[in-house]
Amino acid sequence: MGKSYAKARELDQSDALSGFRDEFYVHDETIYFDGNSLGLLSKRAEKTTLDALESWKQYGIDGWTEGETPWFYLSEKLGTKTAPLIGARPSEVVTTGSTTVNLHQLVSTFYQPEGSKTKILADELAFPTDIYALQSQLQLRGYDPEEHLVFVKSRDGQTFHEEAIIEKMTEDIALIVLPSVLYRSGQILPMKRLTEAAHDRNIAIGFDLCHSIGVFPHHLHDWGVDFAVWCNYKYLNAGPGAVGGLFVHQKHGHKAPGLTGWFGSRKDKQFDMAHDMTPAEDAGAYQLGTPHILSAAPLIGSLELFEEAGAERLRKKSLALTRYMMELVESKLQGMGFTIANPREDDRRGGHVYLEHREAARICKALKAEGVIPDFRAPRGIRLAPVPFYNTFTEVWHVIDRLQMIMEKETYKKYENKRGVVA
268 is catalytic: no
Q: Looking at the 3D structure of the chain, how many domains does it have?
A: 2
User: Does residue 95 lie within any of the structural domains?
Assistant: yes
355-385: burial string, b at 16+ Cβ within 10 Å, e else: bbbebbbbbbbbbeebebbbbbbeebbbbbb
Catalytic, out of 21, 184, 234, 349? 234
401 is catalytic: no
Q: Euclidean distance between the first and final Cα of the chain, in Å?
A: 32
Domain identity same for 379 and 393: yes
Domain identity same for 98 and 197: yes
127 is catalytic: yes
> pLDDT digits over 368-387, tens only?
999 999 999 999 999 999 99
Q: Which amino acid is at 421?
A: V
Residue numbers in the known binding site for pyridoxal 5'-phosphate are 99-100, 127-130, 208, 211, 233, 262, 290
Of the residues 253, 274, 308, which one is the last residue of a structural domain?
308
Residue numbers in the known binding site are 99-100, 127-130, 208, 211, 233, 262, 290
Q: Exposed, middle or buried: residue 127 (CB in 10 Å: 0-12, 13-18, 19+)?
A: middle
The pLDDT assigned to 4 comes to 86
Q: What is the CATH number of the domain that holds 85?
A: 3.40.640.10
358 is catalytic: no
Of the residues 308, 323, 339, which one is the last residue of a structural domain?
308
The pLDDT assigned to 265 comes to 97
Q: What is the CATH number of the domain that holds 379?
A: 3.90.1150.10
Q: Exposed, middle or buried: residue 294 (CB in 10 Å: 0-12, 13-18, 19+)?
A: middle
344 is catalytic: no
Residues of the chain with confidence (pLDDT) below 70: 1, 421-423
Domain range for residue 366?
Answer: 2-32+310-414
User: Does residue 421 lie within any of the structural domains?
Assistant: no
CA dist., res. 192 & res. 104, Å (int): 23
Domain identity same for 109 and 203: yes
Map residue 159 onto helix, strand or coil: coil
User: Does residue 40 lie within any of the structural domains?
Assistant: no
> pLDDT digits over 302-321, tens only?
999 999 999 999 999 999 99
The pLDDT assigned to 309 comes to 98
User: Does residue 38 lie within any of the structural domains?
Assistant: no
Q: State how beta strands 173-179 and 119-123 pair.
A: parallel
